[in-house]
């Protein structure tokens, strides 16, 4: 089975500051990979490179069959295959929940309004917000807005979902709502890469854990490495993360 995500010796700098210093890992179809590590270790940058929101300076990156180091890569096709959800929800305040979710299928895929509405209804139900279809973002809690942001990505029927610290701005109760949705997606077989500081969640759903430190993959393995880390650095990171 060829991997759906393949990073080989990926390097990325902002000016003189090298953020990714030769990152290599792969993720297979249907796998959930959790990327963990201290702030500044390069986790979010690696994720943003996978959607070509950032370009890489070295190495190679193949995402859902798209070669990202190629300057002629079809970004529209890439973003049809890859959904990304950020810490900030970025919903349009003047559009209802349903309209926010329908927008991309209509604009990017040219789907007719009635069909797009059907898709929106299905994915909004999937994140548990069917009764909020006609509400505006300001009428929703942070957790609900984040679930709408997930539904918006799902409406494009991506092959891969990227989650960048999607719960870090939420309180514990709202975090739980969002993580339950992600857990269900994992159970449904969605390929996911999540940058997260939720160690319990990573333990529960991740098939693969990638621990990054100083711009490199420092340790990688199944979720068991969170119970039995083989490096002192990961051991220390886990004990600090568990204390908070």
Residue 1 has pLDDT above 80, yes or no: no
Residue 172 has pLDDT above 90, yes or no: no
Spatial separation of the C-alpha atoms in residues 144 and 165, rounded to whole Å: 16
Question: Could you tell me which residues are beta bridge partners of residue 10?
Answer: 23
The pLDDT of residue 122 is 95
Instruction: Say if CB 46 and CB 35 are below 8 A apart.
Output: yes
The pLDDT of residue 169 is 81
The pLDDT of residue 59 is 95
The pLDDT of residue 242 is 73
> 35-51: per-residue pLDDT in tens?
999 988 999 999 999 99
Q: How many CB atoms lie within 10 A of CB 208?
A: 20
> 68-105: per-residue pLDDT in tens?
988 899 998 998 899 999 888 889 999 999 999 999 89
Residue 244: pLDDT band (50, 70, 90) is low
**Sequence-separated (6 or more) residues with CB below 8 Å from residue 170:** 142, 143, 146, 178
The pLDDT of residue 92 is 95
Helix/strand/coil percentages in the chain, nearest 5:
40, 25, 35
> To which H or E segment does residue 232 belong?
helix 232-243
Selected from 3.40.50.300, 3.30.300.130, 3.40.640.10, 3.30.1960.10, the CATH number assigned to the domain covering 5-91+158-243 reads 3.40.50.300
Residue 240 has pLDDT above 90, yes or no: no
> 181-217: per-residue pLDDT in tens?
999 999 999 999 999 988 999 999 999 999 999 999 9
The pLDDT of residue 168 is 86
Backbone angles phi, psi at 51, to 5 degrees: -105, 10
Residue 116: pLDDT band (50, 70, 90) is very high
> 119-165: per-residue pLDDT in tens?
999 999 999 999 999 999 999 999 999 999 999 999 999 999 999 99
């Amino acid at each position: 089975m060829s991997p759906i995500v393949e990073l080989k010796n990926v390097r990325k700098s902002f000016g003189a500051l090298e953020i990714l210093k030769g990152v290599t890992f792969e993720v297979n179809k249907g796998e959930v990979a959790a990327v963990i590590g201290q702030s500044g270790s390069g986790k979010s940058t690696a994720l943003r490179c996978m959607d070509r929101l950032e370009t890489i300076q070295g190495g190679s990156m193949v995402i859902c069959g798209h070669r990202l180091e190629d300057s002629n890569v079809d970004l529209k096709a890439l973003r049809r295959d890859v959904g990304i959800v950020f810490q900030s929800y970025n919903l349009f305040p003047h559009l209802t929940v349903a309209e926010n979710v329908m927008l991309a299928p209509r604009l990017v895929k040219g789907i007719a309004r009635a069909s797009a509405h059907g898709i929106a209804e299905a994915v909004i139900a999937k994140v548990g917000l069917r009764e909020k279809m006609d509400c505006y973002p300001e009428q929703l809690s942070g957790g609900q807005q984040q679930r709408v942001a997930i539904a918006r990505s799902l409406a494009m029927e991506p092959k891969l979902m990227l989650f960048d610290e999607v719960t870090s701005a939420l309180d514990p109760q709202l975090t739980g709502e969002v993580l339950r949705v992600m857990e269900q997606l994992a159970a449904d077989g969605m390929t996911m890469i999540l940058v997260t500081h939720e160690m319990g969640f990573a333990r529960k759903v991740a098939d693969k854990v990638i621990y990054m430190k100083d711009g490199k993959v420092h340790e990688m393995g199944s979720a068991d490495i969170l119970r039995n880390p083989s490096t002192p650095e990961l051991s220390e990171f886990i004990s600090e993360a568990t204390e908070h």
